[in-house]
Each structure stands twice: as C-alpha cells, then as structure tokens.
Amino acid sequence: MLETIKTIILDSQETKLEIGVPRHLAAEPVAHKATICIGVRRSGKSTYLFQQIDQLLRDGVSPKNILYLNFFDDRLHGLQHEGIGAVTEAYYSLYPEKKNTETVYCFFDEIQEIEGWESFVDRLIRTEECKIFITGSSAKMLSTEIATQMRGRALSWELFPFSLHEFLDYREVDGRGPLSSKKQLLVKKAFDEYWEKGSFPEVVNVSKHLRIKIHQEYFHTILSRDLIERHNVSHPKAALDLAHWLVDNIASLYSLNRLTGYLKSQGHKITKSTVSDYIKWLEDAYFLFTMHIFDASISRRNANPKKIYCIDHAMIMSVSSGILVNAGHLLENIVFIELRRNHTDIYYYKTHSGLEVDFIVLQKNRVKKLIQVSETLIDAKIRKREIKALEQAMTERGLKESIIVTRHEQDRVETESGVIYIIPVWRFLLDV
C-alpha cells in the first residue's frame, strides 16, 4: 500500500493542473484549522483545489511540498483496512527531510470516503507542519459533530456549481458594474445559454444529447453512492422512485404523509420515518433542498408542508418526466439556488390572509428580503395577485421594498406598503 500511495503522490506532483476559471468562493485558510470545501458531486471542488495548488506553485512553493490525494481513486481502497495514517507515512518516506522542518500543503479530495479521517486530520494539524485543504460531498462536514470530533480545528465552505457570474467569466463576458446596452445584450445571450445548459461546469460545452446523459449519470451516481451505498439503503427502488417524484414536483409543496402514501401506491412497504431519512440524505448530498414555512414556532414550521428544490435547473429537465415541471418552476428553482448560495435562512411565507410569498430571507434573525417569482406578469390577474401578496407581507414584516423576479420584465411599482421592484432574472442573479 505504501508504494502505491508514493506513486500516486509523485504522479500528482508531475501532472499538469486543469484549473478552469476562478471561482467566486473566498475560502480563506485560517491558521491551525483545516479548510473544508463541500458541495454536490461535479460542482468543481477538485478544480477549486487545483486552483489553490496552482497559486502556491506560482508563489514559489515546491511541488514536493504539496501532497494531493483523491480518495475516490480505486488504488486507495486498501486504506479502509490499512488505515489513513499510511498517507503521511508514505509521504515522509519520500521526503523525510521535510518532517517538522517545512510546511507541507495537504489536499485531500472526497476524504469522507475513509473512515476515521477526522482524527487523522486533527492529528496532522496538532503534530505536523501541515496546512490542510479538504473536499467532500456531504453536508455532514458542516455539522457540529464534525466540529466536535476535530475539536474546532476545521472551517467549512460551500461550493455550488457555476453562478451566473462564474458562467459569464467562463464565457468571457463582463457582467460587472453598470452595463451598457451592448453589454446587456451579451449578458442576456449568455443567460439564455445558462438557462438551457445549467450550472454544472462539465456540461457547458457539450451537445444537448450528451448533457442529458451526463446529468442522468450524476443523478444515478448521487443516488447510488451518496444515498444507497453510504447509508446501506435496503429499498433502493423506493429511494429512486422518491427522488424522481421530488424532481418531478420541484418548487412545489410536499408532506411526508403524501410521499409515504405515493410510495405505498407504487408497491413499496415503507415507513414515514424512512422517507424522512431518504430526503435528509438527498439534502446531505447537496442534490435537493427543503424549504420550510416561516414561523416562529419550530413545531408549526415542521408540521406544515415543505417546498423542494434541486441543485441545478437544467438537471431537472434531464432527469424528470417533464409532465409537471414548467418554466415557472425552473425560474423559481434558479432564484432559490442563488439565494441559498448566499444565505442559509430562507423560507416561504404566508400572510395572515393566506397569500403566499415564494421567499423570505433572514439575516442575523432579521427579515432582509421578500421575493416573489413569476415567469411573466402580462396577465393582469397574476400581476394583481403577486403584488397583493407582497403588499401584505411588507406590512406584516415591516419592510419598505420587495422584489418580483420575472423571466424578462422590468418595472417599479409604488404601493401604500412600499416599493416593489420587478426585475428580470438575469439582473437578479447579478445583484444578489
């Protein structure tokens, strides 16, 4: 095993790095803490590590001081039995002169695949001259459990697939600052491509046929590795049927009773608690996100139906049946993911009279934003309904402005409750 690890280390030091475009993630390393980058599979976490390595090399750090391992590498499977400590044993047998005399930069990709990684990383930080960067595809790496096991020696950052800003960077379109008419046209054209192709870096330059195939591969890999294998799921077909139902009903309300009833109608003998576990595990993999109703009471928040969103709007169309999903749902999904990229406290809101607002965003326990999403406001009834819901919500929550995100429209509406800004989605994504 040691010889295999040595070979992998040496190969990585000689491999040309594919660094892509810079990501808008300021994951600042902190002394005596591991930097953990987490997110859904294929979101660009490995490339982000390569960008950090490339910067070190340009700053003059020797390749020999860089240790990179991807724990999805089949050749490292033996570490499950031999122990992850073999990694540093192999490295320092290559470079014994560096032990406790020079800083070694350790980059560990998908380290959650190896049992006991937390205590290993904790020991490295305490006993070796190491700076450690880690990726993982499990939200558990944000949890207090991990923080406890590592005794506070880790700081986690979330990396999502491309934002519109990052997509524009990839297409070399300048979307910053005030936009001239020409720049706006270029941004709108790029957004149309973003709408069609989605946010996963790997699919940006492939044909529609390949994009669908790749999305479906992502979907099944997440299900098999992050749910079925990781949690030893005994009813994989039930998990698959559940995931398909959730994707088909994106941006819609669901309840555990309804989902359990649906799966039983499909012939699955399954409990409500098991369905709840499946959803939590799909969320843990950053594939799906559940949003609760805004309510001061946690019990009422949990008792009310919840809304479901997916990590990528184009992926929805690649894996769903397409019967229930429409452009309005996709637009709402795009808005949610952009909000989730920047905030963690996001809810849907019901006014005292029962009108629904798609998103209410909290920051430091204070309401900061009210956002409604509507593909178009051309229909006078829809426009009146959306504005009325926001008017009531602004009055109830004490805000003087709110937003309606549309596909193309732009306007400013003065009401007795405050100002409602109607903006196209591309502008919203650039301004969040």
H-run or E-run covering 81: helix 79-82
Give per-residue pLDDT as tens, 89-139.
999 999 999 999 999 999 999 888 888 888 899 899 999 999 999 998 888
Q: Which residue has the tokens 């905030």?
A: 343
* Token pair of 18 as six digits: 């594919």
55 and 22 Cβ atoms separated by less than 8 Å: no
DSSP SS3 for 399: coil
**Which pLDDT belongs to residue 114?**
87
**How many Å is the Cα radius of gyration of the chain?**
23
Task: Provide, rounded to the nearest whole percent, the portion of the chain with pLDDT above 70.
Answer: 98
- pLDDT on residue 148: 63
Cβ atoms of 64 and 13 within 8 Å: the answer is yes
pLDDT, tens digit, 9 for 90 and up, residues 292-327: 999 989 999 999 999 999 999 999 999 998 888 899
Q: Which domains does the chain have, with CATH numbers?
A: 2-158 (3.40.50.300), 163-204 (no CATH), 206-325 (1.10.10), 336-432 (no CATH)
Question: CA dihedral in degrees (377, 379, 381, 387; nearest 10)?
Answer: 10
Rounded distance, CA 3 to CA 33, Å? Answer: 29
* pLDDT given at position 1: 85
- Residue 106, classified by CB atoms within 10 Å of its CB into exposed (0-12), middle (13-18) or buried (19+), is buried
Cα distance between residue 42 and residue 286, in whole Å: 11
**pLDDT tens-digit series, residues 6-36:** 999 999 999 999 999 999 998 888 888 999 9
Joined together, the tokens standing for residue 7 give: 């070979």
pTM of the model: 0.94
What's residue 32's pLDDT?
A: 87
- pLDDT tens digits, one per residue of 165-211: 999 999 999 998 889 999 999 999 999 999 999 999 999 999 999 99
- Residues 54, 92 contacting (CB under 8 angstroms): no
Q: What is the DSSP string of 131-194?
A: EEEEEES-GGGGSHHHHHHTTT-EEEEE--S--HHHHHHHTT----SS--HHHHHHHHHHHHHH
Burial classification of residue 415, based on how many CB atoms lie within 10 Å of its CB (0-12 exposed, 13-18 middle, 19 or more buried): middle
H or E element at residue 411: strand 411-414
Buried b (16+ CB within 10 A) or exposed e, 66-104: bbbbbbebeebeebeeeebebbbebbbeeeeebeeeeeb
